Amino acid sequence: MPLSDYDPASLPDLLPLYYRRLFPFSQYYRWLNYGGVQKNYFQNREFSFTLKDDIYVRYQSFSSQIELEKEMQKMNPYKIDIGAIYSHRPNQHNTVKSGSFQALEKELVFDIDMTDYDDVRSCCSAADICSKCWTLMTIAIRILDRALREDFGFKHLLWVYSGRRGVHCWVCDEAARKLTVAARSAVAEYLSLIKGGEETMKKVVLMDPIHPFIRASLAVVNKYFLRYALQDQDILGQKESVEKVLALTPEDILFNNSHPLIFRTVSLSKLKHSFKIMLQYCYPRLDVNVSKGVNHLLKSPFSVHPKTGRISVPIDIGNLDAFDPFAVPTISLDRPMEAEDEENAEETKENDKDAADRRKIRGDEV
């Protein structure tokens, strides 16, 4: 689906205006400060900036909202990532005794990327999305939100559109922020059902009896499956897609006939109730490594996606089915740049160059 009139080449001119006039610094600080739950909670939070020309600056930290604002308006990052709460100020990590700089807390996070669904969508591939395959993100949010609230008792969940092809979830409860790596891994594994890489044909294994969590997830999938799989993706309409379905379909629900395998037909009513097929096509595909690590970075809400210009906006879970990733705000402006803006933009470019020269350091790989 076509993007708006956004031109990636205009990003250096637009970012200074965005960070000076539109970025919600006050609400952003209130969220990450959590009401000052403990001393230096915000101050010990890691931020990572990706600057122009892929200059990657890790271990940024700020003493206040004002300092955060000034630095972001000076550096105009192309991307912002949020990390953990550390034992010491991240920007002083090189001065701390070896081994004592430790990640202590972070929100429990989940990352769902549409590229992980390429084997079950025919409308798009790679980074491309459309309204037909976006249904997969809607299903993922509904399944995970229900499980995190009802099965684990979490209350404070922030769902965010990534700005291009996926969604992120930030579980902000104090209990979630304090989870150990082992506990995070246990939650992630509980929620993970799709197993195996591209070479694995059957990615869903169900035990008998089916776990209540799986049954609750199936209830969500069932609401979307017929429209998504049989209409939007037309999984029984092309030779290749039919072969995939047949490979997943138990023999007892295939019509017996003498035709070659590809010409066999599948009972749609039985296919609808074939749990493994429904789950393989529609169940959330998690990047569990993002969820397991306390020190793993995740793209910040309200960050700008450089290639699409779209803002990583929170998703209203109460109006989920109406969410349209192509209708979210973009950084493109509908008015000419004013003289003051042009002057400030030029000044910002100079600051960017100076900052890059001073701090052209590469962060550790995540």
Alpha carbon 206 to its chain's center: 27
Active site residues: 46, 111, 113
Using DSSP's 3-state secondary structure scheme, residue 260 falls into coil
Residue type, 99: G
State the Cα–Cα distance between residues 205 and 280, nearest whole angstrom.
10
Q: What's the pLDDT at 202?
A: 82
Kindly give, in sequence order, each residue whose CB lies less than 8 Å from that of residue 188, ignoring residues fewer than 6 positions away: 110, 286, 288, 291, 292
**Total length of the chain:** 366
Which pLDDT score, from 0 to 100, does residue 261 have? 36
The pLDDT assigned to 105 comes to: 96
CA distance 154 to 177: 11
Q: What is the pTM of this model?
A: 0.85
Which residue positions in the chain have pLDDT lower than 70?
Answer: 1-4, 199, 250-273, 333-366
Q: What is the pLDDT of residue 272?
A: 42
- Looking at residue 3, what is its pLDDT? 47
Q: What integer pLDDT is reported at residue 248 of this predicted model?
A: 81
pLDDT tens profile 226-242: 999 989 999 988 888 88
pLDDT in tens, 68-82: 999 999 999 999 999
Q: Which of 46, 127, 124, 136 is nearest to 83 (CA)?
A: 46
**Cα gap 136→16, rounded to integer Å:** 35
Distance CA 250, CA 243 (A): 13
